[in-house]
């Protein structure tokens, strides 16, 4: 990082903190003093700094620093930023299909979108982007990093990743695509007349697509349902309300917001009859990458004891941002309120890690709440804690490396060329041995491959099935290996009503 960028970084952080403190202060003298110091700092820089700086650039950077000091979601938008925000919210762009955020000096992946290059490559929420095309991105502006990752469809971008819990850096070479984020990535019938819906984003009309999927599954014989919103980063609030309304009785509170001003308090209720009767058994799957609108749905269904929630604790993004226009096409995206579940739990997470959150719950009795119908214990503190927790497991580093290098997809493509007429694919030992020879030519040893044989078989089964039958083939195999889905099917297997699910839960806790 050059001297100019370093100086601007330090300057903006200092001014951001100072002005943020001053604006909260009740002392007008303190505010006037700091405003005077601000003007004086600009003048000193203009007169004495080694390079000539544009005061307008310095002030712009200082405003950015002030907004960044508030929370991760508030930001100062230049005219260019505002235009890009409008573009990215349309749902279509050229890139690799992931959401990233600045955390300190690091650029961190928040989520990847189903079916996109980033998702297929195995990039995960929490991964730290160290380099883009061999250029170190720490301390770079988030906008600059995003622009480096985006590009023309068909072109390549190399990402160097540090995954928490791993010591070695991992390289992923992705081919950019036009990103059209799907709403319902897959739906189908699982064993026991269970209808399964994979729901990936709360965009305009998504509730109608879920309703259509439910209708189709009922015609195929579904009597019970799984709504899978793992990895769903959220989206439109009114779609979260409408999705919840598909399962909750009319007039049920779905979520409410509170802020500093009276107009920030708003209640959102179900306005129509549900398309599924309250008694129809429903399981909702969530994980750490389920955020925002996903948490509104999961929290509402949990608080009304309408669905059993299974998976890992959700992200904890429960704040509302307003884009407030300023003069000359500038704007501020500002957090103005927070979301709460029907029982009063704040969705917004204030701790940095899930471990800290769990410790906070143990010590803070104010985080204990009760569900609306069955009076079950649930906890606030940010994010939605599932009724049955199944923590996400990291893949072995060798598997992550092979996925990043595209080995499974490359082998699957070659295998399909050799077997063009096979439609009903079943994984076997011969295919594994064939892959071993293929991987050994890429530099992997027989012993390290055999050590993760079960993981390799799983990925081969999924990749070859996808190569033959597209996303349908992928999901049919993926769900077979999914421990969270298996638990959901177990819970639903003997359930004839919603209350049967909670009797199952009670029995699980008494074991």
From 303, 312, 387, 461, the catalytic residue: 303
Question: CB within 8 A of 493, min separation 6: which ones?
Answer: 192
Residue 92 structure tokens? 């279509």
Residue 218 structure tokens? 């009922």
End-to-end alpha carbon distance in the chain: 57
Concatenating the DSSP letter of every residue in 95-133 gives E--EEEEEETTEEEEEEE-TTSHHHHHT--TT-EEEEET
User: 492 near 194, Cβ under 8 Å?
Assistant: yes
Mark whether 54 is an active-site residue.
no
Mark whether 292 is an active-site residue.
yes
Sign of CA dihedral 328, 333, 335, 339: positive
From 317, 333, 458, 487, the catalytic residue: 317
CA dist., res. 142 & res. 158, Å (int): 17
CA dist., res. 393 & res. 102, Å (int): 24
Cα separation values, 357 from 124, 352, 371, Å: 21, 8, 20
Question: CB within 8 A of 263, min separation 6: which ones?
Answer: none
The stretches of 319-445 forming alpha helices (DSSP H) are: 354-363, 397-404, 407-418, 429-441
Mark whether 355 is an active-site residue.
no
Secondary structure E strands in 4-105: 75-77, 92-95, 98-103
User: 22 near 34, Cβ under 8 Å?
Assistant: yes
CA dist., res. 274 & res. 267, Å (int): 19
Distance of CA 388 to the CA centre of its chain: 20
Question: CB within 8 A of 78, min separation 6: which ones?
Answer: 60, 330
User: 303 near 255, Cβ under 8 Å?
Assistant: no
Cα three-residue angle 470-288-381, rounded to 5 degrees: 155
CA dist., res. 474 & res. 468, Å (int): 9
User: 460 near 159, Cβ under 8 Å?
Assistant: no
From 62, 292, 463, 465, the catalytic residue: 292
Question: CB within 8 A of 346, min separation 6: which ones?
Answer: 318, 338, 339, 340, 380, 381, 382
Catalytic positions are 292, 303, 317
């Amino acid at each position: 990082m050059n001297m100019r960028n370093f100086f601007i970084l330090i300057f903006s952080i200092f001014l951001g903190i100072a002005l943020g403190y001053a604006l909260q202060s009740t002392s007008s003298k303190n505010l006037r003093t700091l405003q005077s110091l601000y003007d004086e700092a600009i003048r000193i820089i203009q007169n004495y700094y080694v390079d000539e700086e544009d005061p307008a650039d310095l002030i712009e950077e200082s405003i950015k620093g002030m907004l960044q000091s508030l929370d991760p979601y508030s930001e100062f938008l230049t005219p260019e930023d505002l235009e890009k925000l409008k573009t990215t919210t349309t749902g279509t762009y050229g890139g690799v299909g992931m959401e990233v955020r600045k955390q300190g000096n690091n650029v961190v992946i928040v989520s990847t979108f189903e079916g996109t290059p980033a998702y297929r490559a195995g990039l995960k929420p929490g991964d730290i982007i160290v380099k883009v095309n061999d250029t170190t991105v720490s301390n770079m502006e988030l906008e600059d990093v995003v622009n480096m990752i985006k590009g023309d469809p068909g072109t390549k971008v190399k990402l160097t990743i540090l995954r928490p819990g791993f010591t070695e850096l991992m390289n992923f070479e992705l081919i950019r695509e036009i990103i059209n984020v799907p709403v319902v990535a897959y739906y189908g019938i699982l064993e026991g007349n269970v209808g399964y819906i994979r729901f990936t984003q709360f965009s305009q009309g998504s509730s109608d697509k879920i309703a259509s999927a439910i209708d189709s599954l009922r015609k195929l014989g579904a009597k019970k349902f799984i709504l899978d919103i793992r990895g769903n980063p959220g989206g439109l609030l009114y779609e979260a309300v409408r999705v919840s309304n598909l399962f909750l009785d009319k007039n049920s509170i779905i979520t409410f917001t509170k802020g500093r001003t009276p107009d920030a308090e708003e209640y959102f209720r179900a306005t129509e009859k549900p398309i599924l009767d309250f008694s129809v058994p429903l399981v909702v799957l969530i994980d750490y990458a389920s955020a925002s609108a996903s948490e509104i749905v999961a929290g509402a269904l949990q608080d009304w004891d309408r669905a059993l929630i299974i998976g890992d604790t959700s992200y904890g993004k429960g704040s509302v941002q307003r884009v407030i226009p300023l003069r000359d096409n500038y704007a501020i995206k500002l957090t103005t309120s927070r979301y709460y579940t029907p029982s009063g739990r704040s969705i917004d997470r204030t701790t940095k890690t899930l471990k800290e959150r769990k410790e906070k719950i143990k010590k803070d009795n104010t985080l204990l709440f009760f569900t609306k119908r069955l009076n079950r214990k649930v906890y606030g503190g940010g994010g939605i804690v599932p009724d049955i927790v199944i923590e996400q497991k990291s893949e072995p580093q060798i598997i992550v490396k092979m996925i990043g290098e595209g080995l499974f997809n490359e082998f699957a493509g070659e295998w399909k060329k050799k077997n063009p007429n096979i439609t009903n694919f079943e994984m076997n030992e011969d295919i594994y041995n064939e892959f071993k020879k293929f991987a050994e030519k890429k530099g992997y040893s027989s012993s390290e491959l055999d050590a993760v044989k079960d993981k390799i078989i799983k990925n081969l089964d999924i990749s070859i099935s996808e190569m033959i039958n597209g996303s349908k083939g992928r999901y049919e195999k993926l769900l077979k290996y999914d421990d969270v889905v298996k638990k959901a099917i177990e819970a639903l297997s003997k359930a004839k009503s919603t209350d049967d699910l909670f009797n199952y839960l009670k029995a699980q806790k008494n074991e």
